Structure 1
């Protein structure tokens, strides 16, 4: 009883609360010192300068609870930052993290939140009691003495002065040090501003792109019936595909498929769906990403060339470019939106029913784009129970101790994708026309693969496992006879380095015989004109960066350099 009384008395002391609140405000900066790869002086600055600012701000009012609530936004950032560090292990809150809040549907968010319990508990313990104590302090109008405020303000000014000296040292030690990029929480505030700016540009997209045209035209004979299918997968990494040498039978059907070419050295230029998928569906890539606000997608190019177009998605609206590009089609359906039940979780097989209906229309020229749910976490929910092959696949909680179960469930989802793509090919073969299908995934996934214990994707610093994706091209017998040059070129290019973000769009246009000034044949893997280009990645500020300038670790580069994937060419 005496202990509780002593604790109560300590917490009622406003001077104690002043120091407690100051400590809580600076906790994220202290943690970031251990997670961010910065020079020593930069780390010192990243603690001292924000601490000096918080210190000064806390002396602006004799009621420390009032100041804590005024600084609530920084508590929110701190909570968000701690959860992010728990999830990804490093980096400050990126622009994409804020955009993900508005582009990720609620069911995905709930699936993820269920697996962040430790981080959420830590945030609650750290911040909620402090906010309650601050509220009590305001309600009861408790005040610090004027003498205390004067003394602490002098100390705060001394700390702030020392922090400015450390800032000068940080610039001297590292000329690349930037406040807007490296100093928390200034960098987060900067990213919030960018997020608002991009949101405004996105909302104005229909105005800025309304006059855009590809000036596209078809080069194949008008009377020749042809069908092209473009499949965009979700969260599928090449490492777990049997086609690329994986020891498990995750591709029992595609590994025996004739007319199929699998490209083994393909990297995506973004590990986030809301960036990667629009790059796959348009002329945009890491080097010209901001042009996305003025362009339309590949569906419009095929429409201009006289094709009947369709877009079918097994994902919900994200109120951004995936929706915009998809809705350009003559026929579109986001099948999850067909139900008001947010727990509605149809399998990708439902998309095949729509493909069958579209093919039954028998249009002379058809172009179909599919956006699947593929291998998105929770993996166990991506395939029907009867499709379970690797066991045990449950439980699949986001914990390292369940890695074997997670990999089993993930591999089952890849095997399910194998069947999904094989059924599309069967449908196209039945048409007995010139037909082609291309497939890639938006990005890969971490599944506790090494000592870093990383999980999921969309981390501010990508890993090898998030970047290496499958890339497939299938051509019908008829198509290979009519256009042997594309088949030969694809074979010749299959062992070359490829960027899915740069090559998917021009390759599809090339296969479909669509000419447009926006088709870059040097990036189409279906032409002899293909040229490898330096690897690039679209960073959080929409800038193209080489892979060695992203903060990636040695294990990632070791995986990239090994090149031990045994490509199995069976067609």
Structure 2
């Protein structure tokens, strides 16, 4: 009996030798690439099992059909299988972490210009080798077109094929292996993304006025100009105003004595959407009564402006765009939707000056520049190419030095941009302030051999952000609170700080969550995925 079964299996293998070889090649090729790029760890064998289960499911599904349908399902299944393994291998190599739903969300919120910069930033010979290897494999498969088939050997054979789908699928779900599959995460994340978009529309976050329970002004001003600048991907570790050895922020250095400079502020996420969803709304859009800081300022009687160098993204409006659209005037200067180079941030200055000159008595202006977003070298003009050669990077190789230098140059240009903004505000004699923070930071070869931000492999530098306030004398006379420069703070509570700064009250206001109130230095600060900032490298 065993001998007969062995002979039967051997015959089937011989009959399908070419097809089996083609299906196993991308599986083992992915294992080799991922082992090289990601290292041998507990995720690697789990991903191998998951990919093997997907292979069995695709083949079993195709065997339910006959003739050309069997070939078509195997052909498209092979294409999907190859793409899945390629993307997983590239992701593991780049980020040294498992793919997550948040990664797919970020991909969905990306325009072509950002995609071009991402590819240009991370593309290297090894990734090219992976792409070419899988491309050759698929082309060769297309030319040979082998079909895996089985002869009729049992009257319930079709039932066995269904079991070949259900058993691996059940085991994947039971063991949680589906979380390692790029295609599963892509499909589920798209549905989740669409649902999130529907929820955002329900919150009316893009409407000028929201129903804010208990809203009132603790004190009012007749004339005021307040400015909020939201930086992008700027870690305070690379700013000389925070002690970095290179003089990357000469203007802020000169202004330091006039700033309320906070030394221990972190973001709640290492990507823009998550960070600003927390910072700019009351409860991260988790309840029907949620609202944004723009809606607060509208209700406080301010003329609101949102001036952005970041383009609206994707088929749906992103959360940040929806918040921006609730302002009286929303202007974006970035039209690089086709992959062309985005404009430098000084493109915002004419619109900023125009907003300052608006005849409204009270103005609130948000500036949302590109800051130090990768591709770092695209963020500044040639004349700011100051830092070169060997950088202060903790990793000594050409790529680390090149990217570190480019990042420092981007910070230098960002400092120049801030200088132009401050010059205009300094001309104002009525009550005014400038509040600045970055949405999140970037890892630039400090703790790990990597540049960029990825919540799957987080570091402290990805969360450590600059946060400072400049107030003119007129504003200071009316604003009396304590300055606590070393106060440990999480940006997710920003709306409480913002409310206190603007003398706004509402029922859900909690001043114990304001940066102007002493925060606990012993409690760990929770960031994404139940990780704590203090535990990160």
Report TM bin, short chain.
0.7 to 0.9
Aligned to 1:184: 180
Aligned to 1:322: 320
Structure-1 separation of matches of 2:461 and 2:309 = 24
Alignment of 1:198-217 (within 5 A): 198-203=193-198, 205-209=200-204, 212-215=210-213, 216-217=215-216
213 and 28 in structure 1: CA distance in 2 versus 1, 3 angstrom threshold: farther
Alignment of 1:47-446 (within 5 A): 47-48=48-49, 50-52=51-53, 54-55=55-56, 57-58=58-59, 61=63, 66-67=73-74, 69-92=76-99, 94-114=100-120, 115-138=122-145, 144=149, 146=151, 179-180=175-176, 184-185=180-181, 189-190=184-185, 192-203=187-198, 205-209=200-204, 212-215=210-213, 216-223=215-222, 225-257=223-255, 258-284=257-283, 289=284, 291=286, 295-318=290-313, 319-337=317-335, 343=340, 345-391=342-388, 400-446=397-443
- Give the Å deviation of 1:88: 0.8
Q: Which TM-score applies when normalising by structure 2?
A: 0.81
Q: Which TM-score applies when normalising by structure 1?
A: 0.77
88 and 344 in structure 1: CA distance in 2 versus 1, 3 angstrom threshold: closer
Are the equivalent residues in 1 in contact too, given 2:380–2:410 (CA < 8 A)? yes
44 and 117 in structure 1: CA distance in 2 versus 1, 3 angstrom threshold: closer
- Give the Å deviation of 1:465: 1.9
Are the equivalent residues in 1 in contact too, given 2:57–2:164 (CA < 8 A)? no
Q: C-alpha offsets along residues 179-220 of structure 1, whole Å, 9 cap, x if unaligned?
A: 3367532x8615631442222331453234369422433232
How many residues are treated as equivalent by the alignment?
Answer: 503
Are the equivalent residues in 2 in contact too, given 1:310–1:369 (CA < 8 A)? yes
- Give the Å deviation of 1:34: 7.8
C-alpha RMSD of matched pairs (Å):
4.0
Asked if 1:466 corresponds to 2:462, the answer is yes
Q: C-alpha offsets along residues 426-459 of structure 1, whole Å, 9 cap, x if unaligned?
A: 3222111221211111111122335x42121134
Are the equivalent residues in 2 in contact too, given 1:313–1:372 (CA < 8 A)? yes
SS at match of 1:291: coil
Structure-2 separation of matches of 1:33 and 1:290 = 40
Are the equivalent residues in 2 in contact too, given 1:24–1:126 (CA < 8 A)? no
Structure-1 separation of matches of 2:27 and 2:153 = 20
Structure-1 separation of matches of 2:480 and 2:188 = 51
SS at match of 1:189: helix
203 and 116 in structure 1: CA distance in 2 versus 1, 3 angstrom threshold: farther
Are the equivalent residues in 1 in contact too, given 2:305–2:366 (CA < 8 A)? yes
20 and 330 in structure 1: CA distance in 2 versus 1, 3 angstrom threshold: same
SS at match of 1:377: coil
Structure-2 separation of matches of 1:333 and 1:393 = 40
- Residue of structure 2 aligned with 1:25, choices 15, 24, 27: 27
Aligned to 1:501: 492
Q: C-alpha offsets along residues 213-266 of structure 1, whole Å, 9 cap, x if unaligned?
A: 22433232343x222111110111111111211111112121221430221112
- Give the Å deviation of 1:311: 0.3
Are the equivalent residues in 2 in contact too, given 1:267–1:469 (CA < 8 A)? yes
- Give the Å deviation of 1:416: 1.9
Are the equivalent residues in 2 in contact too, given 1:260–1:473 (CA < 8 A)? yes
- Give the Å deviation of 1:81: 1.2
Are the equivalent residues in 2 in contact too, given 1:18–1:64 (CA < 8 A)? no
SS at match of 1:484: coil
Are the equivalent residues in 1 in contact too, given 2:117–2:375 (CA < 8 A)? yes
Unpaired runs of at least 5, structure 2 = 1-13
Aligned to 1:535: 525
142 and 321 in structure 1: CA distance in 2 versus 1, 3 angstrom threshold: closer
